[in-house]
Amino acid sequence: MIRKYAVSLPLVVASSLPAAVGSASTARAERPVVDAALVVDAALKEALDTMIQDEYESENLYRRVLRDFGEIRPFSNIVWAEQRHSASIAALYRARGLPVPASRFSPEDFPAYGSVREACEAAIEGERENVALYDRYLERPLPDDVRRTFEHNRRASLEHHLPAFRRCVERRR
């Protein structure tokens, strides 16, 4: 059985209805109406949870690198992109009346890399894994807003983050 997480919606109260509306209509109007796109089954909840934590993980990895090596590119740019990615997923939670989970990660959870090149190599692997996770969820049926958000975040990782980290490695050979 799939658990459903329903959105709390306000009820329409009888006093807000026109006086001509009969009791049968009033009873029907007092029942909450939930937009099917906003009902979250266990599979969608898992996708949202996995992807927001993955974005939090990348952000905290990049914060660790910035703490260790200073404001270096591409980390100084991409850390903000990761925040935008997690914020876009957080908006999906809020649209469904769900609490936004806190990050399970902090910069201290990641190793201190011996060089910027090593950090860029680790970031390449992380971005590849991020794209693969998005691919996995994009194969499934998703509400339109979730699909658009996941596609946008995936494209940014594939077309912008990965090339930036590859250039970082090449510059440090």
Report the chain's mean pLDDT, rounded to a whole number. 83
- The DSSP 8-state label assigned to residue 12 in this structure reads P
At 18, is the secondary structure helix, strand, or coil?
coil
Confidence of residue 41 (pLDDT cuts 50, 70, 90): confident
Confidence at residue 107, expressed as pLDDT on a 0 to 100 scale: 95
Q: Express each pLDDT in 74-101 by its tens digit.
A: 999 999 999 999 999 999 999 999 999 9
Q: Express each pLDDT in 137-157 by its tens digit.
A: 999 999 999 999 999 999 999
In the chain the domains, ranked by start, together with CATH numbers, are 41-171 (1.20.1260.10)
Q: What is the mean pLDDT of residues 50-60?
A: 97
- pLDDT over 70 at 59, yes or no: yes
pTM of the model: 0.76
- The DSSP 8-state label assigned to residue 38 in this structure reads G
d(CA 98, CA 94): 6
d(CA 70, CA 164): 17
